[in-house]
Amino acid sequence: MYRTKTCGELRIANAGEKVTLAGWVQRLRKMGAMTFVDLRDRYGITQIVFNNEVDEALCDAANGLGREYVIQLTGTVAERSSKNANLPTGDIEIIAEAMTVLNKSEVPPFTIEDNSDGGDDLRMQYRYLDLRRNAVRRNLELRSKICFELRRYLNDHNFLEVETPILTKSTPEGARDFVVPSRMNPGQFYALPQSPQLYKQLLMVGGFDRYFQIAKCFRDEDLRADRQPEFTQIDCEMSFVDQEDVLQIFEGLVKHVFKATRGIEFTEPFPRMPWADAMKYYGSDKPDIRFGMKFVELKDLTEGHDFVVFDSAEYVGGICAEGCASYTRKQIDALTDFVKRPQIGAKGLVWIKVEADGSIKSSIGKFYSEEDLKKMTDRCGAKPGDMVLILCGKTAQTRKQLNELRLEMGNQLGLRDKDTFAPLWVVDFPMFEWDEETQRYYAMHHPFTMPNKEDISLLKSDTGAVRAYAYDMVMNGVELGGGSIRIHEPELQNLMFELLGFTPERANEKFGFLMSAFKYGAPPHAGLAFGLDRFVSMIAGLDSIRDTIAFPKNNSGRDMMNDSPAEIEQEQLDELFIMLDKEKIASKK
C-alpha cells in the first residue's frame, strides 16, 4: 500500500500521528520559507507543509512539483494555525518528512477545479482529467450509490437480477436498431436491444416471478440534446400482480433511494393523475407539480364579443401568474416572443392584469368590458397583483403551448427549485395514438400493453378512446420511468397486433417466439422501467444526463476521447461478408 491514510480522513484527533498519503498536487504556494501543497485524492484534500529551514532539499523538491504530479508523502499530522472551515481536513496539515514523486504531469489542458476553464469539447477529449474534478466525480459516486441502493431494495423484495443478451434480435420499440454482422452466420446480423422487453416477459413465462436488471439499451437515433446512443435502464417485471401492486412496489423503491442517497423522506403517497387530467390541466403527460398554475378553460366566457381570434379558436385557456401584474411591457413582449418561437408556435399571447387596486388592464380591453375580463380572471383565481396569460387555437396544440408558457413562468417566478421534488403517477394512458401521416394507430406504450378492462368492448368500435393499464412516474416535469400491465392471453395479443396493422406473417416474424411462449401458460404480469441516467441526474440536480455518465458520446455519437467509431481493416470486413458502399459514403462527405 502506498498510503496509510487518504487525503480526506485526517482530523484534529489525528494530530501527532505519522502518516503516508498519496495523491495529486492540486495547488502549490510559496510563502517565505514555507511551501504549501494541497494534495488531492478521491476522498478529499489535505494540506502539506514543507519548511525550507528544516529540510532544504525536501523543500526544494516540493518547489519543483507541478500541478497534477502524483506524489507519495510521509509526515506528521499537526494542528493548523489558520484553519480552513470549508475543508473537512481544514483543521490539520501534514509537516512533510519525506516525499516520492510517483509520476510527473504535463500541464493539464484545463484546470482541475469545480469551475473549470475547459470547454465541453476539451473536457470530453480529456475526459480522464475531467473525471478528476469533484463536480464530475461526485455525480458518478452518486450513481454508484443509487445503483447499490436500488439493488438492495429490489433484492430485499425478492427480485432476481437476470442478465439478458446484448447480441439479440430486433425489438419492436420502433426506433432504429444498432446491428452487428455475424461472422459465423454469413449475411445475418444481431441487433443490440432497445430494451429487454421481450426477454423480461419471457422470464415471467419462465416463472421468475420478480425480475430486474440494470440494463444497457441502445437506440440508433439522431441524437437530440440530451440523448445517448447507449443508455441504462432499471428494468423490472413482476408476475401475479395488478397495477396497484406495481405502483406500490416502485413508489417504495423511489422513496428508498431518495432516503438512502439524499436523506429526503417522502412521507405521503405519491399523487396520481389520469392522463386526461394531465393534458387538460397541464398540457403535458409529465406535469411539473412543484407549482400550481393549472390551466383554466375560458372558451365559454370569451364568445359573442366579436373577438375573432378567440371565436375561431377551438380552445381558449389561461393560467394565473401570481404577482405578475407588475410585468412591464418589455417583459410581456419577451413572453410573447417566447410563445411565438417556432419551437412553440403560438400566434400570440393575451394578457389580463388585475392591478393592486382591483382594476383590470388587458391586451384585449377593446373587445371585452372590465366585467367580462373579471369573469375570466376570477375563474383563473387571480387576485390583485396577478396576471392571467391566455393562449388559444386547436385544443391539443394550444395545451402544449400553454404548457411551455406555464413552465417558463414557473422558472421566472422561481417555482422550480432543484431541491424540491414533486413525484407523480400519471395513469390511464390511452392505448393508441393515431398517426395522421401513415393513417393508422400506433401503440402509445407498446404492443404488449393491456387495455383497460372497462374499455375492451371499444377496441374495434372506438379504438382511440381505449385506455391502457399504463403508468408513468413523473418528477418535477421529467418522466423517470413508465410501464404497463402486459397482455398474457394469446388471443388478445393477436387482436392487438391486428389493430396495430401487423399482418399475421409480420407479427409472427417479429414476435413469433413470444406468441409461442404465450401458448404454454403465461402468468398475468406487469412491469416498469426507469431511465437510470435521468434518475441520477434528477437526484443529483443536474440539467443534463451527460455528467451522470463516465464516458459519454457527443451529439454525433462519437467518443471524443478515443475517437470512435473508427475505420476497420479490410480483412475484418471480408470476414464479416460485408462491403462498404463507398459511392454512397463519398456522396455523403
User: Which of the stretches 156-164, 342-350, 364-372, 452-460 binds a second copy when contact is defined by CB under 8 A?
Assistant: 156-164
Looking at 114, 163, 300, 314, which residue binds a second copy (CB under 8 A)? Answer: 163
* Binding positions for a second copy, 399-438, rule CB under 8 A: none
CB of 127 to a second copy, least distance (A): 7
Count of residues near a second copy by CB under 8 A: 126
Q: Is 153 in the site for a second copy (CB under 8 A)?
A: no
**Which range touches a second copy (CB under 8 A), out of 178-186, 282-290, 445-453, 494-502?**
178-186
Could you say whether residue 176 binds a second copy (CB under 8 A)?
yes
Scanning 28-36, 191-199, 269-277, 423-431 for contacts with a second copy by CB under 8 A, the matching segment is: 191-199
Least separation in angstroms between residue 135's CB and a second copy is 13
Within 208-227, which residues bind a second copy (CB under 8 A)?
208-210, 216, 218, 220, 222-223
Q: Is residue 288 within the footprint of a second copy (CB under 8 A)?
A: no
Q: Which residue type does 220 have?
A: D
Please identify which residue in 153, 190, 307, 441 interacts with a second copy, judged by CB under 8 A.
Answer: 190
Binding letters toward a second copy, positions 369-398, x by CB under 8 A: ------------------------------
Q: How far is CA 204 from the centre of its chain?
A: 28
With a CB cutoff of 8 Å and minimum separation 6, the contacts of 223 are 229, 553, 555, 556, 557
Q: Is 582 in the site for a second copy (CB under 8 A)?
A: yes
Q: Which of 102, 175, 334, 356 binds a second copy (CB under 8 A)?
A: 102
Q: Are strands 470-475 and 423-427 parallel, antiparallel or unpaired?
A: antiparallel
Among 187, 263, 342, 414, binds a second copy (CB under 8 A): 187
Among 52, 170, 363, 463, binds a second copy (CB under 8 A): 170
CB 282 within 8 A of CB 476: no
Which one of residues 51, 55, 189, 361 is an interface residue with a second copy (CB under 8 A)? Answer: 189
Contact residues for 432 (Cβ-Cβ < 8 A; gap 6+): 441, 442, 443, 444, 463, 464, 466, 499, 500
Asked whether position 443 contacts a second copy by CB under 8 A, the answer is no
User: Please, what is the minimum distance in Å from the beta carbon of residue 162 to a second copy?
Assistant: 5
Ranges within 105-134 binding a second copy (CB under 8 A): 105-106, 108, 126-132
Burial grade of 250 (CB within 10 A; 0-12, 13-18, 19 or more): buried
Using the contact rule CB under 8 A, the part of the chain among 254-262, 338-346, 476-484, 512-520 near a second copy is: 512-520
386 or 533: CB nearest a second copy: 533
30, 83, 104, 460: which one binds a second copy (CB under 8 A):
104
Q: Are 401 and 391 in contact (CB under 8 A)?
A: yes
User: Segment 27-46, which members bind a second copy (CB under 8 A)?
Assistant: 40-43
Secondary structure (H, E, C), 226-242: CCCCEEEEEEEEEECCC
Which stretch in 199-207, 339-347, 389-397, 462-470 sits in contact with a second copy by CB under 8 A? 199-207
Task: Annotate 325-368 with three-state secondary structure.
Answer: HHCCHHHHHHHHHHHHCCCCCCCCCEEEEECCCCCEEECCCCCC
Nearest alpha-carbon partner for 243 in 529, 524, 535 = 524
Closest by CA position to 391, among listed 331, 304, 321, 319 = 319
Amino acid at 248: Q
306 part of the interface to a second copy, by CB under 8 A:
no
Q: Which stretch binds a second copy (CB under 8 A): 135-143, 305-313, 393-401, 406-414?
A: 135-143
**How many residues are present in the chain?**
589
- Report residue 127 as a C-alpha cell: 475526459
β-pairing, 360-362 vs 432-435, is: unpaired
> What's the Cα-to-Cα distance from 70 to each of 67, 107, 234, rounded to whole Å?
9, 13, 38
Q: Are 93 and 70 in contact (CB under 8 A)?
A: no
Among 161, 300, 337, 462, binds a second copy (CB under 8 A): 161
Residue (of 56, 180, 27, 146) closest to 565 by Cα position: 180
Site string for a second copy, 530-569 (x = CB under 8 A): -------------------xxx-x--xxxx-xxxxxxxx-
Residue in 328, 343, 520, 543 binding a second copy, rule: CB under 8 A: 520
Q: Write the Ramachandran bin of 544: left for phi over 0, alpha for psi from -120 to 50, otherwise beta.
A: beta
Alpha carbon 176 to chain centroid, angstroms: 21
CB atoms within 10 A of CB 104: 12
- Nearer of residues 85 and 225 to a second copy, judged by Cβ: 225
In the complex, the smallest distance separating the C-beta of residue 183 from a second copy, rounded to whole angstroms, is 6
Residue 578 as a binder of a second copy (CB under 8 A): the answer is yes
Please, what is the minimum distance in Å from the beta carbon of residue 13 to a second copy? 21
Residues within window 40-99 making contact with a second copy, judged by CB under 8 A: 40-43, 68-70, 72
Within 13 Å and on the Cβ side, how many CA atoms surround 518? 20
User: Smallest gap, in angstroms, from Cβ of residue 242 to a second copy?
Assistant: 7
